[in-house]
Amino acid sequence: MFRFFENLVDPYVVYKENDAPPQRLTPFLLEYARPFAGIFWLTGLMSVIVASVEIYLLYYLGRLVDVMGDSTPGSFWQTHGFELIIVAIFILTLRPALGMAQVALLNNTILPNIGTMVRWRAHRHVLRQSVGWFENDFAGRIANRIMQTPPAVGEVVFQIFDAITFALAYLIGALVLLGEADVRLIVPMLAWFVPYLFLLRWVIKQVAPASQAASDARSAVTGRVVDSYTNIHSVKMFAHHDREVDYAKEAIETARKTFQVEMRLFSIMDLALILLNGILVVGVVGYAIFLWTQEAASLGVVAAASALTLRLNGMSGWIMWAVSNFFRNLGVVAEGMETIAQPVTLLDKPGAKPLEVRAGKVEIKELSHHYGKKKGGLDRINLTIPAGQKVGLVGQSGAGKSTLVKLFLRFYDAELGEILIDGQNTQSVTQDSLRSAIGMVQQDSALLHRSVRENIAYGNPDASDDQIIAAAKKAQAHEFIQTLEDAEGNKGYASRVGERGVKLSGGQRQRIALARVMLKDAPILMLDEATSALDSEVEAAIQDTLSTMMEGKTVIAIAHRLSTIAQMDRIIVLENGRIIEDGDHQGLLEANGQYARFWARQSGGFLGQSEAAE
């Protein structure tokens, strides 16, 4: 039975991705609710039916009191026995069946699936954002919003059908029941209901912003805590334990104060509710008793009114909490929207085709990018790299080397100019095909918190174990991999490397990153000082492998250690975003320009401190 209800909606149903999700709350929720439309209507109907059944039982209680008062014990069963059996059968069979259907729709169909769907789609949307988008936010805050928004959406939906729809149907039914018993009983009911609505309105108006402030404060705490954990090596290295504790405490205290404001509202609500419920009980029950003393109402009316009033007395707090919780979770969703509803700005152009690398020729024409500022980045770069040529990039910090790499990988769209690969504009092809054609090894290659095998296979998910091991051997990584063992007892290629590969040394991480790129075997290679984290012995052993790997490929290498690019076909020197020198190693030395000065100032093969590379 549970499986039937759980499978009524597929949270992973194919959908059309929206590059610019709705920025307002209601349209945002409606977009996610579309696959659940039929289920929502059915659940709402079931809530009304269940509420109607509850009202009917209160009505029947009053009728039962009246017929018992009009009958003798001896004649009661004979006269009303069949009716009682029918009602008992209804209470024992149909009523629990209706209740179970409503509960199953909420607990088994809606709650597990809508949260899963929101998290799945939100994660997909966020992963499509550009690298620049991620660089402008905390990873911890992004993850927190991805995690807290789906259950908040689930709570919003749950409160709509479990409390709000049920409560509305119940209140309408209560008014009808009292009107049927004696229309005058509606007066004290309304005397309670009208101020109750004002209280509810006040709570909603106050709770929504207070809840969003509390949610923002919790996200800030998460961001600061995760920032400390992510950079734990720096925290320990600089002995800043107390500073980090104070940094987190500041956010934690802000979260406490915002939560205090929120809880004060609920305390005021509870006090007002107690007073209002006193008016409800005294007004309705007292008036019903008064009518009975005037022989204007039967005992059944008094019994039904009393039962109804006591039920509403218990429900009123639940309804208030449910509605306030509804708006509190709307505040959480609104906060989450600040992340998961942001439009994706770096998109494939309509009709973009996959990149076809035929030879690997690169052309850069009038390329400029200043990150929206007036200076920095690149300024009208023109460069042609024939297919298969190996090019080194040299320049001081801020010269534009990293910007060129980011534009080449299309982590950003260039503000001006274009990059062509075999005549194809990189902004006109699909991003996935562009990056699939480029093998990139960075100076600090972060690894995924997965097994060594999975990290190497990231370069080619379809690779066999033999291919993975072969790549590791070429990268001089196979021997140390065999000695690895993680905390769970996984060994060798099955061992996990820790977050960003923290369980490995810098040289070990770099060799696994090299193995990954070797396995990818892309036609274009970009190397950001690929061997700088390796010791001299390992670097010497791997240089021949790198030379073999570069054969027949177009290579662009950023150099911090000039000796690593001295044998390149060509060396480009960048300064202030422009190309100031272009030639081979010997020719640039003879020209006695900037490159020659870099070479002369090297110490141990590195650029001097004043010429630190980007």
What's the pLDDT score for residue 543?
72
106-115, 501-510, 548-557, 586-595: least confidently modelled range: 501-510
Token pair 């040289």 in the structure block, residue: 507
φ, ψ dihedrals at 89, nearest 5°:
-60, -40
pLDDT at 266: 81
Segments in 90-135 forming alpha helices (H): 95-104, 111-127, 131-135
37-48 tens-digit pLDDT: 999 999 999 988
% of the chain beyond a pLDDT of 90: 33
**pLDDT tens-digit series, residues 442-460:** 777 778 889 999 999 999 9
Segment 68-118, tens digit of pLDDT: 887 777 788 888 888 889 989 999 999 999 989 999 999 999 999 999 999
Is residue 588 pLDDT above 80, yes or no? yes
Q: In this structure, are residues 378 and 372 in contact, taking their beta carbons and an 8 Å threshold?
A: no
**Segment 24-38, tens digit of pLDDT:** 888 998 898 889 999
- pLDDT exceeds 70 at position 610: no
Whole-angstrom distance, CA of residue 410 vs CA of residue 372: 16
Q: Which two tokens stand for residue 374?
A: 């007036």
* Nearest-10 crossing angle of helices 111-127, 299-340: 20
Q: How far apart are CA 309 and CA 263, in angstroms?
A: 28
The helix (H) or strand (E) run that includes residue 579 is strand 578-583
Measured distance CA(370)–CA(252) in Å, rounded: 38
Q: Is the CB of residue 101 less than 8 Å from the CB of residue 48?
A: no
Query: Using one digit for the tens of pLDDT, what is the confidence trace for 306-340?
Result: 888 888 887 777 777 787 788 878 878 888 888 88
The residue with tokens 């001006």 is: 416
Structural domains of the chain ordered from first start: 2-340 (1.20.1560.10), 355-437+524-529+553-614 (3.40.50.300), 442-521 (3.40.50.300)
Q: Write down the residue that tokens 């005549």 correspond to.
A: 423
In the prediction, which pLDDT does 119 show? Answer: 92
For 346-445, list the strands marked E by DSSP: 362-369, 378-385, 390-395, 416-421, 424-425, 438-441
Mean per-residue pLDDT for 519-537? 78
Q: Read off the pLDDT band of 222 (50, 70, 90).
A: confident
Q: How confident is the model at residue 530 (pLDDT cuts 50, 70, 90)?
A: low
- What confidence tens digit (pLDDT) does each residue in 255-264 have? 999 988 888 8
Top pLDDT among 515 and 74 is at 515
> In the structure, what pLDDT confidence band is assigned to residue 188 with cuts at 50, 70 and 90?
confident
Half-sphere exposure of 197 (CA within 13 A, CB side): 7
Q: What integer pLDDT is reported at residue 611 of this predicted model?
A: 42
pTM of the model: 0.76
| Alpha carbon distance 437, 422 (integer Å) | 12
Asked whether 65 and 20 are in contact (CB, 8 A), the reply is: no
